Amino acid sequence: MERKSGPDSGCVAHYADMLAAMGTEPRLRIVRLLLSAHPDGLVAGEIQAELEILPSTLSHHLEKLRNEDLVKVQRESTFLRYSANAEALQELLTFLYAECCTRNKAVKPESIVRVPK
């Protein structure tokens, strides 16, 4: 994919990479699960059991999310505890809102902040 150059092209490329990392159903499910467990996070085995993802596949998805700084990992003895990087996710959402929804008021702020049932 060809990327345009300009003052914010690096910023846009960074956010595009973050979105691409969440662009599969399992990874999006992982991010949502980790957000629901925030700030404590979950050990890999808990994520695996909750989402019924094979351990090797889960490891691949978590690594992809970690590489884009969407999740944090911390070693606890023999376990790895993963947590959502809320700051990075907030930054991504702020970027999307600022660049996509405020210029023409296509989306009202109050319609964004609601919990789907």
Which is more confidently placed, 69 or 108? 69
Q: What is the band of 18 on the pLDDT scale with cuts at 50, 70, 90? A: very high
- Give the count of beta carbons closer than 10 Å to the beta carbon of residue 74: 11
Q: What is the band of 88 on the pLDDT scale with cuts at 50, 70, 90? A: very high
pLDDT attached to residue 11 = 86
Give the Å distances, CA to CA, from 96 to 4, 16, 45, 47, 112.
18, 11, 32, 28, 11
Tell me how far apart the alpha carbons of residues 52 and 55 are, in angstroms, rounded to a whole number. Answer: 9
> Has residue 109 been placed in a domain?
no
Tell me how far apart the alpha carbons of residues 110 and 21 are, in angstroms, rounded to a whole number. Answer: 27
Average pLDDT (56-71) is 97
| Total domains, the chain | 1
> Has residue 54 been placed in a domain?
yes
Give the Å distances, CA to CA, from 77 to 21, 69, 80.
28, 22, 8
- pTM here is 0.80
- Give the count of beta carbons closer than 10 Å to the beta carbon of residue 21: 20
> Has residue 37 been placed in a domain?
yes
Domain of residue 27, CATH code = 1.10.10.10
> Has residue 69 been placed in a domain?
yes
Q: Answer yes or no: is pLDDT of 16 > 90.
A: yes
| Local structure of residue 73 (DSSP, 8 states) | E
Maximal CA-CA distance, the chain: 51
> Has residue 102 been placed in a domain?
no
Query: Over the stretch 97-109, which tens digit does the pLDDT of each residue have?
Result: 775 666 666 666 6
Structural domain for 66, as ranges: 11-85
